[in-house]
Structure 1
Amino acid sequence: MSSDFEGYEQDFAVLTAEITSKIARVPRLPPDEKKQMVGHVEKQLEEAKELLEQMDLEVREIPPQSRGMYSNRMRSYKQEMGKLETDFKRSRIAYSDEVRNELLGDDGNSSENQLIKLREERAHLLDNTERLERSSRRLEAGYQIAVETEQIGQEMLENLSHDREKIQRARERLRETDANLGKSSRVLTGMLRRLAELHGRSPAIQ
């Protein structure tokens, strides 16, 4: 089952990376290309939501004692999905036709320069945002690995504790068996001695 979850997880990572790249490009595109790109992103966002639903169903099938680390990852993916949707809404209204016309006005050259400058600043901010997001994802992935490692360690300690209890019970049963064998041996020795006495012989058993 975990292999199915990991497969959905990989598909989600690839898909969200594509969505992030396209969202960053939307504000810089001409109106026609922008409209087409928006349609593609909307479709991919729906696909990402479907993947999250599949992953959520897989997590529900995991035994409770192993479900914790998968639930943590799901919360992270849902947060990432929410951020993508927010960024997409912002990108759709950035540099809209109304804003462009207002900036251009009657003085085309001056307003055009302002628009170019704003676009450059916007692109620079998007690049910085993408770098910060990548760093954040790496930190979050490292944290998740640490949490998963801790959980695995706890499970191993629990298994060792159970094994120790089994060994202790086996030792106790072995001691009881040895004690019973000792008692049986003494009883048998006594019986043989009495049998020898009945036949008038001295027992040779020590």
Structure 2
Amino acid sequence: MFFMARPQLYWYLHNCFSDEKKQMVANIEKQLEEARELLEQMELEVREIPPQSRGMYSNRMRSYKQEMGKLEADFKRSRIAYSDEVRNELLGDDGNSSENQLIKLREERAHLLDNTERLERSSRRLEAGYQIAVETEQIGQEMLENLSHDREKIQRARERLRETDANLGKSSRILTGMLRRIIQNRILVVILAVFIILTTAAAIFFSVQGR
């Protein structure tokens, strides 16, 4: 196999690796696109997180973006290097052996597979981070709703307290008026009793004097 003519070698290597390479490249490009969309969704979710908790997730987003940029750059370099090296080795000078060409092609294939695995791991980390961001947003939303409900309860309790104070003030005024009227009535009764006693005493006195 390693001593076949160059056109035959090119045809053999092309058929061995071209389809697999295209499949790997398409798979990596698909995962990169999904990762980019996931990052965009995470950015939108992070913007909705309350400011006091947003800093931690913003730092994570920067880390994810940096890692994503490194993966894209590495993948781009691998594609360029793979394509250039295959073309140069298959169409270049006769000094390189067919066996070395095949070994290098296999090395490039292994490198692409390694990039695919790295991208899959990064995608899983991105998905985990996105899930955490979503859960944090849900928790924050629930906390805000609970705080809103608690505030409404406090406001209602305050209104009831004000109404109670107003009722107590009204009741106090009513009781004060009732006590005042009771005292006035008692004074009137005492005055009336004294008047009756004095009148009776005067009548008795004048009756005795008339005899």
Q: Could you tell me how far 1:119 is from its partner in structure 2?
A: 1.9
Distance 1:124 1:47 in 2: 21
Change (3 A) 1:200 1:73: farther
Change (3 A) 1:197 1:97: farther
Deviation string, structure 1 residues 4-46 (Cα, Å, up to 9, x no partner) = xxxxxxxxxxxxxxxxxxxxxxxxxxxx999999999999999
Contact 1:59 1:70 in 2 (8 A): yes
RMSD (CA atoms): 9.1
Deviation string, structure 1 residues 54-99 (Cα, Å, up to 9, x no partner) = 9868977988568658746753553354134312431233234457
Change (3 A) 1:88 1:124: closer
Change (3 A) 1:157 1:118: same
Q: Could you tell which deviates more after superposition, 84-93 or 142-151?
A: 142-151
Deviation string, structure 1 residues 87-145 (Cα, Å, up to 9, x no partner) = 24312332344575458866678434543454256336624752564266337625860
Contact 1:103 1:114 in 2 (8 A): yes
Runs (5+) with no aligned partner, structure 2: 1-18, 182-204
Q: TM-score, normalised by structure 2?
A: 0.40
Change (3 A) 1:177 1:39: closer
* Counterpart for residue 100 of structure 1: 87
Counterpart mapping for 1:1-206 below 5 A: 64=51, 71=58, 74-75=61-62, 78-97=65-84, 101=88, 110-116=97-103, 118-120=105-107, 122-123=109-110, 126-127=113-114, 129-130=116-117, 133-134=120-121, 137-138=124-125, 141-142=128-129, 145=132, 148-149=135-136, 152-153=139-140, 156=143, 159-160=146-147, 163=150, 167=154, 170-171=157-158, 174=161, 177-178=164-165, 181=168, 184-185=171-172, 187-188=174-175, 190-191=177-178, 194=181
Distance 2:50 2:33 in 1: 29
Percent of paired sites with the same residue: 93
Contact 1:103 1:115 in 2 (8 A): no
Contact 1:59 1:71 in 2 (8 A): yes
Change (3 A) 1:199 1:191: farther
Change (3 A) 1:128 1:91: closer
Contact 1:105 1:111 in 2 (8 A): no
Q: How many residues align?
A: 170
Change (3 A) 1:162 1:118: same
**Greater length-normalized contact order (CA 8 Å, ≥ 6 residues apart):** 2
Q: TM-score, normalised by structure 1?
A: 0.41
Contact 2:24 2:116 in 1 (8 A): no
Q: Could you tell me how far 1:185 is from its partner in structure 2?
A: 3.7
Distance 1:93 1:87 in 2: 10
Change (3 A) 1:199 1:107: farther
State which structure, 1 or 2, has the greater radius of gyration over its C-alpha atoms: 2
